[in-house]
Amino acid sequence: MSIEKRVTFGSKLGVVLATVGCAVGLGNIWRFPYMTGVNGGAAFLLIYFVCIIFLGFPVMVTEFFIGRKSRRNAAGAFKVMAPGTKWSIIGYNGVFAAFFILGFYAVVSGWTLEYIYQAFSGSLSGKSAIDFKEDFDSFAGSDFRPILWTFLFVLMTHLIIISGVKKGIERASKIMMPILFLILIILCVRSVTLPNAHLGLDFLFKPDFSKINSSVILSAMGQAFFSLSIGMGCLITYSSYFGKETNLQHTALQVTVLDTLVAILAGIMIFPAVFSFGIEPTAGPELVFITLPNVFNQLPLGNIWSLIFFILLGVAALTSTISLHEVATAYMHEEYKMTRSRAALFVSGGILILGIISSLSMGRLSDYTIFGLNFFDFLDYITAKIMLPLGGMLICIYVGFRVDRKVLKAELTNEGTVPFYFFNTYAFFMKYVAPIAIGLIFLNELGLLSKFQKLFV
């Protein structure tokens, strides 16, 4: 595909909202609260912030550089920028990560459809907290229903993808993201006015440093990468559709801030309610699905609130599933010269197979484990905690050591037309801090760091 002919997003707002749409999703509203709950609350949040600022932001800017400079998909980008080398392995890692993430993400997205259906049919009202938990467990563990919803969700994603970049991705994001913000704020207000809400706020904002250990740090880093959609070329693919005038630094800053804001709002929406209803914050993946219907039951017109919320959760999921799908579709379309719709068909088929296995791994196949994790958790683990940080580390090493500083600066400043005040600080973090920190966190988690220390102490 020639550079001139490549489609771009139609407007500045379109760029930001499509990219925010990619970043903001189940990762913020479903995964962030449950990860925070499992990893001890505020201490996790603190490390998460550190990871966002010092690792997430520099990696995002670097991905934008690669995408807009090369104007290609995640793997093709490295073929353009580093022809004849092995760097495109970063892109392949990303394409596989997109499949693997969608393998569990599409299942959770399907759950949102079940809850929309239940809210619509009125069956969420009049239940106790225990009922919500039991009903969720029996639904998620059943054979047929979750798979049907997963299929429907993949179908919706597929249809948007084949309508193209501008009409499909950009238009969908522009309408859906602002509504999501509004509804989140309203729900936060409701949650913090529940009895005992302060316990939830303490859990979220008062750190207990004794809770920090290597696995909490790895989880926080994984969450930062997952939430910002970095480390796997998704933002390389999206920024390949940015126009020449897009300010890459501002866009990265806006996306990072908005994504983090949505995660915090989700925390404020969930934890006061968790404590108010006596639910365990460590409940795991089901946390949002058992907590929020409880909150809505306390409101007049509870079913309508549930309906609105789950529609929005589904929408947030959809703007992310399309971005994940796009990574693989753009790769197959451009590198194998397939038509876009044929490429999309292959991708959707692959996701469905993984989705079916991971849905069944919550029930019928739960005895089959990989490294002690069911298939659903395994896909989550290897993507968020291994493939994305590894991808981010390699992206930084590639740009830090293989790309001429002047070329980097020219792209990030739109050929010198916009200033980049902290360019040297950014470059230092990208080249040294991010790769070393990610490497150390990996070593630490593998237990190798303490063995190494013992050699010297």
Nearer to ligand PFF, 184 or 232 (CB): 232
Query: According to CB under 6 A, which one of 28, 219, 276, 329 is a site residue for ligand PFF?
Result: 28
Give whichever of 177 and 427 is closer to ligand PFF, judged by the CB atom: 177
For ligand PFF, the closer CB: 20 or 412:
20
**In the complex, least distance from residue 441 CB atom to ligand PFF, rounded to whole angstroms:** 19
From start to end of 294-450, where are the E strands?
Answer: none
Which listed range, 120-128, 223-231, 277-285, 292-300, lies at the site for ligand PFF (CB under 6 A)?
Answer: 223-231
Q: Looking at residues 86 to 115 of the shown chain, list those that interact with ligand PFF (rule: CB under 6 A).
A: 101
Which among 11-19, 176-184, 228-236, 269-277 is the span making contact with ligand PFF, rule CB under 6 A?
A: 228-236
CB 248 to ligand PFF: min, Å: 18
Task: Establish if 200 lies at the interface with ligand PFF (CB under 6 A).
Answer: no
Residues 235, 62: Cα–Cα separation, whole Å: 9
62 lines the binding site for ligand PFF (CB under 6 A): no
Cβ nearer to ligand PFF, comparing 297 with 323:
323
**Judged by CB under 6 A, which of 17, 19, 20, 27 binds ligand PFF?**
27
Q: Rounded CA gap, 277 and 235, in Å?
A: 39
Residues 388-407 that bind ligand PFF (CB under 6 A): none
CA distance 25 to 9: 20
- Count of beta carbons in the 10 Å neighbourhood of residue 368: 12
**199 bridge partner residues:** none
Q: Which of 18, 20, 22, 81 binds ligand PFF (CB under 6 A)?
A: 22
Ramachandran class of 300: left when φ > 0, alpha when ψ lies in -120 to 50, beta otherwise? beta
Q: Bridge partners of 373?
A: 370
User: Token pair of 94, please?
Assistant: 């990303």
Minimum distance, C-beta of residue 72 to ligand PFF, in the bound complex (Å): 16
Q: Which residues contact 386 (CB under 8 A, 6 or more apart)?
A: none
DSSP E strand stretches across 70-208: none
For residue 87, what are the CA distances in angstroms to 77, 394, 439?
Answer: 10, 8, 18
If the CB atoms of residues 133 and 380 are measured against ligand PFF, the closer one turns out to be 380
Rank residues 343 and 427 by Cβ distance to ligand PFF and give the closer one.
Answer: 343
Instruction: Name the closest residue to ligand PFF (Cβ).
Output: 27
Pairwise CA distance, residues 156 & 93, whole Å: 25
226 part of the interface to ligand PFF, by CB under 6 A: yes
- Asked if 57 interacts with ligand PFF (CB under 6 A), we say no
Does the footprint of ligand PFF cover residue 232 (CB under 6 A)?
yes
Q: Are 219 and 282 in contact (CB under 8 A)?
A: no
Distance between CA 242 and CA 9 in Å, rounded?
Answer: 6
Q: What is the rounded CA–CA span in Å between residue 264 and residue 242?
A: 28
CA distances from 156 to 152, 160, 194, 344 (A): 6, 6, 36, 12
Interface pick for ligand PFF out of 62, 150, 249, 323 (rule CB under 6 A): 323
Among 15, 16, 20, 23, binds ligand PFF (CB under 6 A): 23
19 touches ligand PFF by CB under 6 A: no
With beta carbons less than 8 A apart as the criterion, state whether 389 and 221 touch: yes
Binding residue (CB under 6 A) for ligand PFF from 18, 106, 265, 324:
324
**Residue 229 in contact with ligand PFF, rule: CB under 6 A:** yes
CB-CB neighbours of 218 under 10 Å: 22
Question: Between 227 and 348, whose beta carbon lies closer to ligand PFF?
Answer: 227
Q: Which of 70, 112, 219, 227 binds ligand PFF (CB under 6 A)?
A: 227
Smallest gap, in angstroms, from Cβ of residue 59 to ligand PFF? 12
